[in-house]
Amino acid sequence: MGSTSAENHGTEGVGRRDLIKRSAALGLISVPTMSFLSACASSGGDDSGDKAKAGKKTAKNPLAVNETAGMEFVLFDGGFGKEYAEDAVKIYEKNFPKASVKFSATQKIQSTLQPRFNQGTPPDLIDNSGAEQMDMGVLVGKNQLTDLTPLLDAPSYDDPAKKVRDTLRPGIVEMGQFDGEKVWILYYAYTVYGVWYSQKALDSLDEQYPETWDQMLAVCAKAKKKGMAGWTYAGKYPYYLPFSLYPMIGKVGGREVLDAIDNLEPNAWKHPAVKACFEAYYELHKKGYVLKGTPGLDHIQSQTAWAEGKALFIPNGSWVENESANVIPEDFDLAVSAPTGIDSSDKMPFGTIWASGGEPFIVPAKAKNAAGGMEQLRIMLSEASSKNFTGKVKSLTAYNGGTDGIALTPGLKSGVAALDKAGENVVNPRMQDWYVQLQKEKIGVSGLGEMMAGRLTPAEAIKKIQGFADETAKDDSIKHYKHQ
């Protein structure tokens, strides 16, 4: 599916581009049509008391699920398959033997569920993912979702002394928030973004992964002598570049620089850290360290060239291991690292990385059995369910752990090590799920893409991108979000 889905990127977006083909890139989504959104917004449904009555709250049933109420769960049928969810449903059925559970999986989330939102009869739990993902900002803005705070404050499945929220990886709770404290979305998968490479290829150059930009240029020079480019990337979809460039900006200038960019603050892009990082990347182009022809490659072509050893480094997310499995050689020794910084004056330490949630689960406001939907999520956030997911689909979950005793693939093992090294230094830029169009078409294609192809200088690219951000900030038809 890679090539056909790639052709649609311009309009569809890496747009969870097709999770059938890959695993969980986060939130770069196609925006559903307005007709659907307005229909969704006017859902008007019937609140005539057909919601399940609360059950008895006990230690084993902290969310007071009605033990006889039905529960319906609709999953996006994508790169992670459905087995992990079916396994978690079996646990729900075992815990509530009198409840009938209806589970289904579809790739057409929007067209399947749109009429049901309109009628006020949505399912109790939805994995709102894939190319037909419903627009989260609109669902939140129109009060279509249930606040998941009761789930987060409930005792965790494994340890009643710990709340669910205390068992989650960095950034998961914040990602589910839009305005204020309420949490509308629980992202279940966890993606590590960074610079991906073959440890074998790096070893063959007798080099370590570079921590400063001078070291990066030296490694690229060495690779070039051996006939290998330093870098490649998805030139047709240059919104892959931020997977390593954004956390580098955070490392160099501190988290507040990324927050200012997300908040669309005036002159946020003119910060010295942004300038330093743009100039560093531009140097890769100027010195001929980017694989020839890269601006014309799509994501699959660039990943294939990299897997074939034509380039050493590629910015990407942890789905790349699954997506490129058919082209990555057995002895490739896939590894990921946090972005290289500029030098010792950087505000954050080497190891600062971007990692965040994918696979957004929601409980509709008009769900008949919202407690049941939340309880199903509580089960999925147990150690056993998390391990089951990771073992089956080569991806981490939002549960902070769940990898002991699983034979991890090289990329996953490297991702876990990178997260351990990062510790608290995990950044989570929100541009790609708050302002999809700005991120993809404008910052990505018209700004970074043009700069990396040598058609804009860093100063010109920054000026252009700041202009795009200012336009978005002034556009009242776009809902604006801010870091709290």
What is the CATH number for 445? 3.40.190.10
- Contacts of residue 260, Cβ cutoff 8 Å, sequence gap at least 6: 268, 271
Tokens of 386: 């998390």
Domain contains 422: no
Per-residue pLDDT of the chain (484 residues; tens, 9 = 90+): 333 233 223 323 333 333 323 333 333 333 333 333 333 433 333 344 579 999 999 999 999 999 999 999 999 987 788 999 999 999 999 999 999 999 999 989 999 998 898 899 999 999 998 778 888 877 887 899 999 999 999 999 999 999 999 999 988 998 998 877 899 999 999 999 999 999 999 999 999 999 999 999 999 999 999 999 999 999 999 999 999 999 999 999 999 999 999 999 999 999 999 999 999 999 999 999 999 999 999 999 999 999 999 999 999 998 888 888 899 999 999 999 999 999 999 999 999 999 999 899 999 999 999 999 999 999 999 999 999 999 888 889 999 988 888 888 999 999 999 999 999 999 999 988 788 789 988 999 999 999 999 999 999 999 999 999 999 999 998 888 888 7
Domain contains 418: no
- Contacts of residue 299, Cβ cutoff 8 Å, sequence gap at least 6: 2, 6, 9, 14, 17, 234, 236, 237, 240
Among 369, 384, 412, give the residue marking a domain's end: 412
Same domain, 342 and 363: no
How far is Cα 111 from Cα 101, in angstroms, rounded to an integer? 22
Same domain, 20 and 158: yes
Same domain, 404 and 287: no
What is the number of domains present in the chain? 2
pLDDT at 401: 87
Same domain, 380 and 450: no
Same domain, 209 and 161: no
Nearest CA to 154 out of 140, 144, 168 is that of: 168
- Contacts of residue 6, Cβ cutoff 8 Å, sequence gap at least 6: 17, 236, 237, 298, 299, 300
Domain contains 481: no
Domain contains 480: no
- The number of CA neighbours under 13 Å toward the Cβ of 253 is 22
Domain contains 425: no
Range of the domain at 73: 2-191+356-412
Cβ of 261: how many Cβ atoms within 10 Å?
A: 23
Domain contains 420: no
Same domain, 309 and 266: yes
Amino acid at 331: D
Same domain, 157 and 225: no
Nearest CA to 52 out of 32, 25, 72, 79 is that of: 72
pTM for this prediction: 0.78
Same domain, 326 and 251: yes
Same domain, 278 and 346: yes
How far is Cα 262 from Cα 434, in angstroms, rounded to an integer? 8
Same domain, 135 and 76: yes
Same domain, 268 and 380: no
Same domain, 220 and 142: no
The answer to whether residues 211 and 340 touch, using CB atoms and an 8 Å cutoff, is: yes
pLDDT at 181: 86
Domain contains 179: yes
The answer to whether residues 261 and 429 touch, using CB atoms and an 8 Å cutoff, is: yes
Domain contains 124: yes
